[in-house]
Chains A and B, each alone.
Chain A
Amino acid sequence: DGGITQSPKYLFRKEGQNVTLSCEQNLNHDAMYWYRQDPGQGLRLIYYSQIVNDFQKGDIAEGYSVSREKKESFPLTVTSAQKNPTAFYLCASSTRLAGGLTDTQYFGPGTRLTVL
């Protein structure tokens, strides 16, 4: 089955620790995205990548880092510099379009991060 997997489903972190969220897709999509969602709120873009070895900051990149070494994988690291990291994190992927447009994004099940 083609899809996007995120792990872990729940993650607990102590203050001051870095933590990495996994996102893997087998849809053969070039583009991948990370979003943050706070309770009762909408989606905010953290980072996105249109192609391997290239990525761009979204609206709230501070305190986060990413890598895109493989087409299938786009891990997100929440660093200790992120002041309020407790949130729901969603990863998505899509085919790559030209001209600034975005194709349908397909989402993983998400990771709920709680800072203790």
Chain B
Amino acid sequence: AQKVTQAQTEISVVEKEDVTLDCVYETRDTTYYLFWYKQPPSGELVFLIRRNSFDEQNEISGRYSWNFQKSTSSFNFTITASQVVDSAVYFCALSEAGSNYQLIWGAGTKLIIKP
């Protein structure tokens, strides 16, 4: 069973639209971390955010915001006023005690921003 589900394989929007990337996770641990990474066409993974399970505050960083909801086991990522440079593959990942020092990765969502 998938522990980190990114159901949206590909999303395509026009520049300046808002877009939300979904991430649903599954864990029995009370202590865990959730991450988002961006992979632009160059290939290098860029760390965006880490959230620990005890901090449900939403986070905003410029045009990026994250909504962490333990009640629905979701950690969604919203880009406001999208730009062409936001085009990339975005990965959600989970670290839990049971994962033996490994990250559990979602399959990724390919985001295409059209000019």
Q: Interface on B for A, CB 8 Å cutoff?
A: 31-33, 35, 37, 42-47, 50, 91, 95-103, 105-108
Q: Interface on A for B, CB 8 Å cutoff?
A: 31, 37, 41-43, 45, 48, 50, 56, 58, 88, 90, 92, 97, 99-110, 112
Known: A43-B91, A108-B44, A109-B42. A100 touches B33 (CB 8 A): no
A109 touches B43 (CB 8 A): yes
B44 touches A48 (CB 8 A): no
Q: Which 7 A-B pairs have the closest CB atoms?
A: A102-B95, A107-B45, A100-B97, A109-B44, A110-B43, A42-B107, A99-B97
From the candidates A90, A100, A109, name the one contacting B101 in the complex (CB within 8 A).
Answer: A100
In the bound complex, how far is the Cα of B46 from the Cα of A108, in angstroms? 9
CB neighbours of B106 from chain A (8 A) = 42
